[in-house]
Amino acid sequence: MIRILRARIQQGQRTIAYPAEPPSLPDRFRGRPRLDASRCRDGCNVCTTACPTDALAVVEGSPRLDLGRCLFCGECEAACPAGALSFGSDHRMATRAREDLLVSDATLRLADALEERTRRIFGRSLRLRQVSAGGCNACEADVNVLTTIVFDLSRFGVQFVASPRHADGLLVTGALSRNMELALEKTWAAVPEPRLVIAVGACAISGGPYVDHPEVLNGVGCKLPVDLYVPGCPPHPVTILDGLLRLLGRIDAEGNAAS
Amino acid sequence: MSSGSTPTVLYNGAAIPAAAIPRLPIERWQRAVLDAVASGGRVCAMFGTRGEAGRPLLTAVVARDDAGMLEVAHGEVPEERLPSLAQECPEVHLFEREIAERLGLGLEGHPRPGPVRAAPGAEPVLGPLDFPRVEGAEIHEVAVGPVHAGVIEPGHFRFQCRGERVLQLDIRLGYQHRGVERALLAGPGKRRIHYAETLAGDTSIGHATAYAELLEGLGGTAAPLRAQALRAVALELERLANHTGDLGALAGDVGFLPTAAHCGRLRGEWLNLTAELCGSRFGRGLVRPGGVRFDLEPARVERMIARLDAALRDVASSVELLWATPSVLARFEDVGRIDAMVARQIGLVGLAARASGLARDDRVHHPSGMYRFAHIPLSIWRSGDVFGRAWVRWLEIQRSAAFVREQLAALPRGEVRGEPPRPRASRFCVSLVEGWRGEICHVAMTGAAGELAGYEVVDASFHNWTGLALAMRDQQISDFPLCNKSFDLSYCGFDL
């Protein structure tokens, strides 16, 4: 018992202050990208060629990045001779609408809170059933991390539950493999209304690296209505947390913690 | 040794001309596999492709750990059927099912035929499944999954029980099947490294390194030494993160919350060290054929060493609580036991094999990259139970941390990235990397123009899921989560 207490004291208090304080991220972290079309040269397409998932397209002479397909590998940034594209240190990237993930400049419309009625129901207590459906398990790992003492998700009233019947929504990872299609359908059918769908990671949003493989359905959006998109491959845990808190109205548009 | 009649010898990461591999009639090929296994070899990879005129062509890669070498031979199947070796040589049972599934061959005499991951266009895995059933008045069946109670990957477990006692566990996977092995060959070339990094997301460095070393082997080149050292640092950080997380989860499964809580955070410390190196907690974007994309400047090295020391100190104080707590040891000991003989028969690899007393570690027996110059001791325990698998993790945490510290303190000078390798024509190469679970085996062949003509992936999980099924025999069904976590196998790395 003394040993346990001694170890406990040595380990110290480790829960991060987010969202009251900004998270501490490594300097090489590849967060929200910024595009500057004014630097682009006519007819240049080295970034689109470098992109492994064709997340980048040149639309009317300007590059456009689909965050929902982006693996945040940074190959485009490395390839661009003009510095028109860079991955910054901003972890905030979750959106409510699929089209909001299309980025062509330095702006991004972050997720709004749920509509008043659903927010009243879920704002202080949200129970999620996680469904893993055809990914690489990295998203699952960094979702799981939210329940550790570092992020302590339950202090916001958010918990993962074992049964979909006890859940207010699904948090889906993976490109939605055909082999998981029926299981996802059945799990969804067991969640009582009103209910949410949260797509975490490039796979769940677009199919990710597996986009257009015959073995997958290019993400959960092909099957269920998605309420929150969290881009990344995988998203940093604090990106997922930020998205959840915005959805619940626990962070306002300015990024301040709301009561 | 005359070519044409006996398997050809090759070494980890060194390509040989594809024409040097003998093609044996199926009976001779199977005899060669049986002889190799009987004399201490183990099967790393066994797969089937369609050769000339659509005829099935089998390939077996056997490791001779004691001699540090590999052997390879092709087997020619004259008809659309494959007589099974699994009765005599249980470690090939899943390989044979995979061959039958992919090529559509009839499998004869296999003790437990069935799907592996279900090929594209096949019926969904979750259908009316004909699991072997135990009959009797007091027998009941428990079905779990594919959607599990926690935040984990999908798989289906079918238990045949008598009361609380598990008589038989059958594991059906394939739910994460996303065509990634197929696409490594057929998909866009610029996506290959990302396929490698996502074969098993918690083993991104392991699989990306296996892929990079394979291409370098096919090209006859090597990454700069400094890059090899950084890959090894990242691979050991991956091991540290997963071993630490698993010890925490094992503590959680027996209700010992102090270690569970601390290790949940400490796993993140190792991941964050990897992010310090390359920006990604999972090492995404670090390993590339020809080298690595990120270098370490002296100030960053110093920072990483300081953080490594702090993390190791905290892990030690937390993990040592496990060994000092009788109620934890009582729940770890004698649960989920696999003895050395069974481990050998089913071809167990990695930490699970080492916990059952088998000296199997590719860093030692088939070293590549930095492991050729910097040696890491084998961590072995003999009990084969949950305690053994936990204890070997702790031993390896200490060895890996010392290794990373040593590498960081004396990184070779020079570049970190050379020219991407250009695979030579008509070559065959095997790349083995000791990932944190165990052996990662990538095999590739090139065609007449140096293009990839075949690509196979065997994650450690492919060998070790059978170990979990056997470890559960005669155990309490309530011990399943504990046994499962003690192996902590990959679903996506199996499903591909």
Domain-located, residue B118: no
Are B61 and B70 a contacting pair, CB within 8 Å? yes
Measure A145 CA to nearest chain B CA, in Å: 7
Domain-located, residue B100: yes
Query: A221: closest CA among A239, A202, A199?
Result: A199
Same-domain status, B331 and B216: yes
The tokens 């799907």 sit on which residue?
Answer: B115
pLDDT digits (tens, 9 = 90+) for B273-323: 999 999 999 999 999 999 999 999 999 999 999 999 999 999 999 999 999
Same-domain status, B62 and B195: no
How much is the pLDDT for B127? 46
Measure B258 CA to nearest chain A CA, in Å: 7
Measure B112 CA to nearest chain A CA, in Å: 21
Domain-located, residue B456: yes
Best probe of the A interface among B151, B238, B288, B416, by most A CBs < 10 A, is B151
Give the residue on B whose Cα is nearest the Cα of A175: B178
- Distances in Å between the Cα of B482 and the Cα atoms of B94, B332, B463 are 24, 8, 19
CB contact under 8 A, B277 and A28: yes
Phi and psi, residue B52, nearest 5°: -60, 140
CB contact under 8 A, B204 and A138: yes
Domain-located, residue B249: yes
Measure B278 CA to nearest chain A CA, in Å: 6
Same-domain status, B259 and B358: yes
Sheet strands side by side (includes A62-66): A56-59, A62-66, A102-103
Residue B17: CATH number of its domain? 3.30.460.80
Domain endpoint, select from B85, B108, B131: B108
d(CA B201, CA B4): 40
List, in order, residues 6 or more apart from B463 with CB less than 8 Å away: B91, B346, B347, B348, B349, B438, B439
The tokens 């190791």 sit on which residue?
Answer: B312
Same-domain status, B102 and B201: no
* Average pLDDT value for chain B: 94
**pTM score:** 0.96
d(CA B143, CA B153): 16
Query: Helix, strand, or coil here: B48?
Result: strand
CB contact under 8 A, A137 and B124: no
pLDDT digits (tens, 9 = 90+) for A83-95: 999 999 999 999 9
d(CA B12, CA B70): 7
- Chain B residues whose CB is inside 8 A of the A141 CB are 201-202, 282
Pair type for strands A169-173 and A126-132:
parallel
The tokens 């690296």 sit on which residue?
Answer: A209
- Chain A residues whose CB is inside 8 A of the B495 CB are 177, 179
Identify which of A209, A214, A236 has the shortest CB distance to residue B191. A209
Domain-located, residue B229: yes
Burial of B298 (0-12, 13-18, 19+ CB in 10 A): exposed
Identify which of A3, A138, A209 has the shortest CB distance to residue B324. A3
Chain B within 8 Å of A152 (Cβ-Cβ)?
no
Same-domain status, B338 and B421: yes
CB contact under 8 A, A28 and B272: no
Give the domain extent around B54. Answer: 8-108
Give the residue on A whose Cα is nearest the Cα of B180: A210
CB contact under 8 A, A133 and B195: no
How much is the pLDDT for B119? 53
Pair type for strands B427-434 and B439-446:
antiparallel
Identify which of A139, A182, A236 has the shortest CB distance to residue B126. A182
How much is the pLDDT for A255? 73
- Chain B residues whose CB is inside 8 A of the A71 CB are 194, 284
CB contact under 8 A, B282 and A138: yes
Mean pLDDT of successive 10-residue segments in chain B (496 residues)? 74 96 96 96 96 90 97 93 95 95 90 78 53 87 90 94 95 93 90 97 98 97 97 98 98 96 96 97 97 97 97 96 97 97 97 98 97 96 98 98 97 95 96 98 96 96 97 96 97 96
Are A216 and A224 a contacting pair, CB within 8 Å? no
Best probe of the B interface among A73, A150, A215, A236, by most B CBs < 10 A, is A215
Q: What is the DSSP secondary-structure string of A105-138?
A: SS---PPPPPPHHHHHHHTT-EEEEEEE-SS-SH
Are B452 and B463 a contacting pair, CB within 8 Å? no
d(CA A215, CA B76): 29
Residue B356: CATH number of its domain? 1.10.645.10
Best probe of the A interface among B198, B230, B286, B312, by most A CBs < 10 A, is B198
Give the residue on B whose Cα is nearest the Cα of A28: B279
d(CA B347, CA B367): 20
Distance, CA of A193 to chain centre: 23
Determine what percent of chain A is predicted with pLDDT higher than 90. 90
Same-domain status, B97 and B229: no
Chain B within 8 Å of A76 (Cβ-Cβ)?
no
Looking at the DSSP bridge assignments, the partners of residue B82 are: B107
CB contact under 8 A, A139 and B201: yes
How much is the pLDDT for B54? 87
B4 vs A244, more confident: A244
Domain endpoint, select from B56, B82, B108: B108
Domain endpoint, select from B108, B133, B167: B108
The answer to whether the peptide bond before residue A19 is cis (omega within 30 degrees of 0) is yes
- Distances in Å between the Cα of B36 and the Cα atoms of A10, B265, B360, B395 are 52, 45, 16, 31
Determine what percent of chain A is predicted with pLDDT higher than 70. 99
The domain total for chain B is 2
How much is the pLDDT for B443? 98
Identify which of A163, A179, A233 has the shortest CB distance to residue B125. A179
Distance, CA of B318 to chain centre: 28
Chain B within 8 Å of A24 (Cβ-Cβ)?
no
CB contact under 8 A, B153 and A138: no
CB contact under 8 A, A137 and B199: no
pLDDT digits (tens, 9 = 90+) for B351-409: 999 999 999 999 999 999 999 999 999 999 999 999 999 999 999 999 999 999 999 99
How much is the pLDDT for B122? 60
Measure B241 CA to nearest chain A CA, in Å: 11
Same-domain status, B380 and B274: yes
- Chain B residues whose CB is inside 8 A of the A233 CB are 198, 284
CB contact under 8 A, B176 and A135: yes
Measure B238 CA to nearest chain A CA, in Å: 12
Measure A228 CA to nearest chain B CA, in Å: 18
d(CA A188, CA A170): 7
Average pLDDT (A160-176) is 96
pLDDT of A169 above 70: yes
b/e code A4-17 from CB counts within 10 Å (16+ = b)? beebeeebeebebe
Same-domain status, B352 and B270: yes
CB contact under 8 A, B198 and A209: yes
Contacts from B329-334 at CB under 8 Å and sequence distance 24+? B329/B387, B331/B254, B331/B386, B331/B482, B332/B250, B332/B254, B332/B385, B332/B386, B332/B387, B332/B390, B332/B482, B333/B383, B333/B385, B333/B386, B333/B387, B334/B385, B334/B387
Same-domain status, B61 and B201: no
Between chain A and chain B, the number of residue pairs with CB atoms below 8 A apart is 194
Query: Helix, strand, or coil here: B125?
Result: coil
Dihedral sign from CA coordinates of B73, B78, B80, B81: negative
Pair type for strands A196-200 and A228-230:
parallel
d(CA B251, CA B482): 9
Identify which of B126, B293, B317 has the shortest CB distance to residue A7. B317
pLDDT digits (tens, 9 = 90+) for B199-220: 999 999 999 999 999 999 999 9
The four Cα atoms A48, A53, A55, A61 give a dihedral, to 10 degrees, of 20
Same-domain status, B219 and B341: yes
Chain B within 8 Å of A135 (Cβ-Cβ)?
yes
Are A200 and A168 a contacting pair, CB within 8 Å? no
Burial of B281 (0-12, 13-18, 19+ CB in 10 A): buried
CB contact under 8 A, A30 and B279: yes
Domain-located, residue B171: no
Domain-located, residue B138: no
- Chain B residues whose CB is inside 8 A of the A28 CB are 275-279, 294
Same-domain status, B289 and B390: yes
CB contact under 8 A, B262 and A11: yes
Same-domain status, B299 and B421: yes
